[in-house]
Structures are given as C-alpha cells and as structure tokens.
C-alpha cells in the first residue's frame, strides 16, 4: 500500500457506509409506505381475498412500488459489503456469502412480483369475470398461482434473512459500527427466516403478519441508527469513528 492510497481508504469506506445507510432506510420506508396501499383481507381465505384482488385498481402499481423499495434496500446491503471491506478470515467469507444472498433475494423478489403482481392478478380477474360453468376451473388456476407465490416468497424471505445474518457476522469484526446496530441487524435476519418458514408451511397467516411487523420495526430502528452513525463518522482517517 502506498502513501498516496492509504488516506483514501477511510474516505471511501465512509462514503460507502453513508450510501448504504441511506439506501437501506429509503428502501425500507418506501416499501412500508407502498405496502399500506396493498389490498387487505384474510390472505388465506382465497374466495374472499381473490374477489378483493380482482376489484383492486392499483394492484400492479403497488407491486411495482414494492419491487422498487426492495431493490433499493438490497442495493444498500451491497453497498454495505463494500463499506465493510473485510479482507481475511470468517468476516470476509460471511460478507461475500451475504452479498450473494442479497443478489439471490433480489432475483427471487423479481420472480415473486411477477407471480403476485401480474400472474395472480390476471388469474383472479379471469375467475371473477368467468361464467358460472368455468368458475371452478378458473379458481383452481388462481389457487395454483397463489401456492407458487407462497413458495417463491418463502425462499425470498430465507435469502434475505441469510443475507442480513451474514452481514451481521461480517460487521462484528469492525470497530466502527456500534454493536447494537449489528445485533438488531441479526435479529432482523432471524425474523425473515421465521417468515420464510411460516409462509412455506401455511401461507400468509397471522403468525407471518406478526413477523413482518417485527421485521419492519427492527429494520427501521437499526437503519436510522446506522444513518446517524455514518454521518457522525470522524473525518480523521486514522480514527475509529463510530466506536465511541
């Protein structure tokens, strides 16, 4: 490492951390706000909820907004990978596998929104407008798509949960991210793993809704804290700015 490049590393880390913190928080808040416009109801009562979905005029737009929020959030996780800059040991591999899981989570979420935001909407529309003789077949098709949604959502939650847990492991080796942030990040990851299991086992149940709310609260907490910590980072490149 030369004398010219050494002082630039903390500046690059600080920039990456601030970018990561902003993207994570903006993505999570956007996702939460857009989700408030999602058509409600008992998600496992398919006759009732499919009728509500068919009546929704903003279904596709809401799911596009959710995808945008998730994409921004996951971009923030990838920026965190560069901010951590772990170069050896367990932390290095945890960061790399965490980044791979984040990419997988984004790909799975794209599939999820294609299934839920487009395919399911078209299926429930066809069921709602079908003549009586065709309704049973149309409903069965819509349920098949719903069950496919369960599967994709389950694995997306698992990928996101693993990404957060692995990034928490990688961040434990740093001296400049407060430990409570790291612990909350790990807790958030565990809540997504629980969501993945619950959805895969029984669909969109009350237990899954509780896990979602828990994840939202924990996510917003550690993301706001990370934004504050990133902007308090000292300008002195030789200091340990956040560990105060």
Three-class SS of 124-187: HHHHHHCCHHHHHHHHHHHHHHHHHHHHHHHHHHHHHHHHHHHHHHHHCCCCCCCHHHHHHHHH
* Assigned domain for 71 exists: yes
Please state whether the predicted TM-score (pTM) of the whole model is above 0.75.
Answer: yes
Domain-embedded: residue 42: yes
In a domain, 1, yes or no: no
Assess contact for 99 and 150: CB atoms under 8 A.
no
Does residue 96 lie in a domain region? yes
> 3 in a domain, yes or no?
no
Q: How far apart are CA 140 and CA 123, in angstroms?
A: 10
User: What is the DSSP code string of 69-90?
Assistant: HHHHHHHHHHHHHHHH---SHH
Residue 66 lies in a domain: yes
d(CA 69, CA 26): 8
Q: Which of 232, 234, 93 is nearest to 173 (CA)?
A: 93
> Residue 208's Cα: distance from chain center in Å?
15
pLDDT tens string, the chain, 244 residues long: the values are 444 433 344 666 778 889 999 999 999 999 999 999 999 888 889 999 999 999 998 999 999 999 999 999 999 999 998 888 766 678 888 989 999 999 999 999 999 999 999 999 999 999 999 999 999 999 999 999 999 999 999 999 999 999 999 999 999 877 678 899 999 999 999 999 999 999 998 889 888 889 999 999 999 999 999 999 888 876 544 444 443 3
Say if 236 falls within a structural domain: no
Q: How many domains does the chain have?
A: 1
- Is the residue at 169 inside a domain? yes
- Domain ranges, residue 175: 10-231
């Amino acid at each position: 490492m030369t004398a010219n490049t050494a002082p630039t590393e903390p500046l690059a880390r600080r920039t990456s951390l601030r970018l990561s913190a902003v993207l994570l928080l903006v993505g999570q808040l956007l996702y939460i706000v857009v989700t408030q416009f999602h058509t409600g109801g008992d998600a496992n009562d398919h006759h009732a909820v499919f009728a509500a979905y068919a009546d929704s005029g903003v279904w596709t737009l809401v799911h596009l907004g959710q995808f945008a929020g998730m994409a921004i959030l996951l971009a923030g996780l990838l920026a965190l990978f560069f901010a951590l800059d772990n170069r050896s040991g367990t932390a290095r591999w945890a960061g790399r596998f965490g980044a791979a899981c984040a990419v997988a989570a984004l790909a799975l979420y794209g599939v999820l929104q294609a299934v839920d935001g487009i395919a399911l909407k078209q299926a429930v529309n066809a069921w709602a407008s079908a003549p009586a003789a065709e309704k049973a077949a149309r409903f069965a098709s819509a349920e098949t798509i719903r069950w496919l949604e369960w599967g994709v959502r389950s694995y997306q939650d698992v990928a996101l949960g693993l990404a957060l847990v692995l990034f928490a492991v990688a961040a434990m080796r740093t001296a400049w991210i407060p430990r409570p942030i790291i612990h909350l990040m790990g807790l958030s990851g565990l809540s997504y793993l629980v969501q993945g299991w619950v959805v895969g086992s029984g669909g969109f149940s009350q237990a899954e809704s509780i896990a979602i709310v828990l994840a939202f609260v924990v996510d917003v907490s550690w993301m706001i804290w990370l934004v504050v910590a990133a902007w308090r980072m000292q300008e002195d490149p030789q200091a340990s700015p956040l560990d105060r």
